[in-house]
Amino acid sequence: MESLRISEHHYRRRVQFVEVDSARIVHFSHFFRYMEEAEHALWREAGLSIAARGDGFGYPRVAASFDYHAPLQLEDEFDVYLRIVKITRASMAYACAVSRGGERIATGALTIVCVTRGEDGRMVSAPFPADVRSRFDVAAEAGA
């Protein structure tokens, strides 16, 4: 059923002390972790684990970026909106918007690929397994 497919996720989070740098703002590297936490929550909402044990598939990241508009500060509560913007046979792209009380904080993008371990142990590109692909769809609108 089309309606059961997942195409976006809203993730809420509080800034933790260890994520804040000496300027009292969130270190830029943590936004990539926030985006990934939202992604894995999206997969859980779809009934999946991004790192399911034993199925032989993995989802390494091939591109990741953030533009930073305003800083997040200690103990701020903030929102991460993640949307699927593209799905191909063996890759998926997300757009990410981080905000705090309606204020635009950061805009991110993430592309993952589906891989499996080849005979020599190296990761090789592979189509998404059908039971993974069938859970996701591209979000209807691309706007944040």
Contact residues toward a copy of itself (CB under 8 A) are 16-18, 20-25, 27-30, 32-33, 36-37, 40, 44, 49-51, 53, 58, 60-68, 71, 74-75, 123
- Cβ neighbour number for residue 137 with a 10 Å cutoff: 17
* CB of residue 26 to a copy of itself, shortest distance in Å: 10
Q: Residue 119 to residues 14, 42, 57, 116, 122: CA-CA distances in angstroms?
A: 43, 31, 13, 10, 7
Nearer to a copy of itself by C-beta: 2 or 49? 49
- The C-alpha atoms of residue 4 and residue 2 are separated, in whole angstroms, by 5
Nearer to a copy of itself by C-beta: 3 or 38? 38
Nearer to a copy of itself by C-beta: 51 or 142? 51
Which two structure tokens, joined as six digits, stand for 12?
């809420």
